[in-house]
Amino acid sequence: MTQKLHVICRDLFLPGGVFHTGMPGYECRTSQVAMAEAVAAALEGKETLLVEAPTGTGKTWAYLVPAILSGKKVVISTGTKTLQDQLYQKDIPLLASLMPDTFTSSVMKGKSNYLCWFRFNQWMEQDPLFGREPDFKTLRSWLQTTATGDRAEMVSLPDEAPVWQDVSVKAEACLGGKCPEYERCFITRAKMAAAAADIVIVNHHLFFADLALRDGSYGAVLPHYDAVVFDEAHLLEEVAEQYFGISISSYRMEDFARDAMREFVSYQEEECARLCRHLLEESRQFFSQFRRDRERYRLTRQQITSKTEEAGGHLVLSLDRLKEAINLSKVQNEGASHLIVRIERLREDTMLFLEMEEATYLYWVETSATGVFLHASPLDVSTILRERLFSRGIPIILTSATLASQTGSGDDFNYVRGRLGIDVAEGLVLSSPFDYEKQTLLYLPKNLPSPGSDCFVTAISDEIIRILQTTGGRALLLFTSWKVLEDVYRNVRGRLPYLLLKQGDHPKQALLDLFRKEVTSVLFGTASFWQGVDVPGEALSCVIIDKLPFASPADPLVAARVTSLEQEGEDPFLAYQLPCAILLLRQGVGRLIRSRNDRGMIVILDNRVAKKWYGKFFLKSLPPVRKTNAFEEVHAFFNRKPDLS
């Protein structure tokens, strides 16, 4: 059977196949065919397969085609909702028009992406407008036509519109099968469609929410499936950590109190409303105990002072009193019953952070200007994933443009196997379809100070100006910290004739749209801008990276992993810090060349890539580009007429 699926897949992609005859301009790609054959073999052999597929491979079709032909119910999980929408709205419909056999597909997203009829009706009963008339009109008009309730359909509603918070589904607030609107619920419809579909497209957050629930006695989100394909698989560990940990925050308490007051306001239950307001005050007192100068820090049992315990005790007591008042109130409906369930979970999670069993979790705190988050994270998710996912005996395919760490000899997946708990897997590293020798120049300035130097920011600011004057703007600047980003931005602002765009000034998508439109603009980004940015063409002709992206040793999760590896007798730098930094650098560099017609320059301003012994591993991991430390070659590269034939 493996050979049969293998042959069918290959014939569809090869010249003379249905894709070649049915699609004008179709181009057969050797790497795409190789990946499709490997995915077909893994699906039929119930194997785990790791595929590094560079940009331009055509990996989405390389896994979709064998998944469709396999006859199995396959879940496709993506790292971003953007790719999820692309698969469902573009790739799947096109394949459906070309494939020899018919198939069905569906899409599922997290609950907060859908309108909740129950919350919408509550909202409507309580005079909700308060100056939100334009958003309300948009919402009502959309509700007359939508079949899915998916917020992504409302492109005219701003991302930050408060109205969506009032009418969308909250995971903890959802009444599930007990909801009076269950039959026409958009999530109910999405689940029914997924249960009947051959291909179900989700994202990693929903997949791991489901995986965590299956062993938590809360039922399941996804229907039964026979195989899984993870696209953007380099994000799996980070997402899994969120769903196998426990978090409690000031936001979560505020959401609960707001929902509770909305439940009681129609019944004029003043005592319950008063206790909700009291709960908010106790919540503020408790979470204020965890504010520090740092945005993230590790939390230990010794840091739980008597004052913190007292504030926590008052918060727990306020939850208990509210629960008692709800039980005694005249509001006896499913909404009130579910509030009690939420109180019990909030109480349990709050007690976890007051009692703190440090042998079970790593505890840490994250703060922002408006909220405080307490996290209890598993130090290592590999054991959990090995037990709950990779030992289930189903085929699992993981693919990304960056999976092989290349810290040893040859291309290897040892790092990702170890981090995810994969004991046995086939590995395939595909070659890029791009001619990096012709398309790309790697510039490594030779006279810059080390990143730890006091004059580093000033020096790289001057170098960045010199580079941008040569490239005519058209650059994405990637930073490893907000502080350096802000400092460099201040240094270069007013010294360049280009539009400078800075992360945080506008939503990410709005920044990217403006960056594409204003061809000579320069975009300053950090964190999420290292990955998921797709700007083919002239607008992105240069990627400048300030430092090698080593995770901060002060980060609580990093520090804990380093300590754990040291205790196990391993070298944390080689086993964890170096491969992690290499994969992130490759993600950043991958923002540059997005098509065969792209041409541009990569700049790394960190002299450690040339001076430190580990620099060779970073360079080895990059595409086979021409390297230079002479600025004359930079001038020549951008003045030379491109030859991409």
Residue 572 has pLDDT above 80, yes or no: yes
Please state, as a whole number, how many other Cβ atoms lie within 10 Å of the Cβ of residue 630.
12
176 token code pair: 């599930």
pLDDT of residue 389: 96
**Tokens 């996912």 sit on residue:** 389
Residue 2 has pLDDT above 50, yes or no: no
Cβ 529 vs Cβ 523: under 8 Å: yes
Better-scored residue on pLDDT, 503 or 331: 503
Say how many residues make up the chain: 645
| Element (DSSP H or E) covering residue 21 | helix 18-22
Buried b (16+ CB within 10 A) or exposed e, 487-502: bbbebbeeeeebebbb
- Nearest of 583, 590, 569, 582 to residue 614 by alpha carbon: 582
Q: What would the pLDDT profile of 22-46 be if each residue is shown by its tens digit?
A: 898 888 999 999 999 999 999 999 9
Q: What would the pLDDT profile of 417-446 be if each residue is shown by its tens digit?
A: 999 999 999 999 999 999 999 999 999 999
Domain 436-639 has CATH 3.40.50.300: yes
Give backbone dihedrals phi and psi of 374, rounded to 5 degrees, phi first: -105, 125
377: left (phi over 0), alpha (psi -120 to 50) or beta: beta
CATH topology of domain 246-377: Four Helix Bundle (Hemerythrin (Met), subunit A) (1.20.120)
Same fold, 2-104+197-235+385-429 and 246-377: no
100 token code pair: 């020899």
pLDDT of residue 216: 45
User: Cα(593)–Cα(433) distance, rounded to whole angstroms?
Assistant: 11
Better-scored residue on pLDDT, 532 or 457: 457
User: Residue 28 burial by CB count (10 A; 0-12/13-18/19+): exposed, middle or buried?
Assistant: middle
Give backbone dihedrals phi and psi of 272, rounded to 5 degrees, phi first: -65, -40
Q: HEC states along 69-112?
A: HCCCCEEEEECCHHHHHHHHHHHHHHHHHHCCCCCCEEECCCHH
Sheet holding 296-298, edge to edge: 246-249, 372-377, 362-367, 296-298
Q: What would the pLDDT profile of 240-255 be if each residue is shown by its tens digit?
A: 999 999 999 999 999 8
Mean per-residue pLDDT over the chain, rounded: 91
Q: What would the pLDDT profile of 457-481 be if each residue is shown by its tens digit?
A: 999 999 999 999 999 999 999 999 9
Domain map (residue ranges) of the chain: 2-104+197-235+385-429, 111-188, 246-377, 436-639
**Alpha carbon separation from 483 to 63, 459, 487, 526 (Å, rounded):** 41, 15, 6, 10
User: Cα(115)–Cα(188) distance, rounded to whole angstroms?
Assistant: 12
SS3 content of the chain, % helix, strand, coil (to 5): 50, 15, 35
CATH topology of domain 2-104+197-235+385-429: Rossmann fold (3.40.50)
pLDDT of residue 130: 54
pLDDT of residue 406: 66
Residue 124 pairs with which residues in a beta bridge?
none
Residue 343 has pLDDT above 60, yes or no: yes
Farthest CA pair distance, the chain: 80
**Global model pTM greater than 0.85:** yes
Residue 410 has pLDDT above 60, yes or no: no
Better-scored residue on pLDDT, 495 or 409: 495
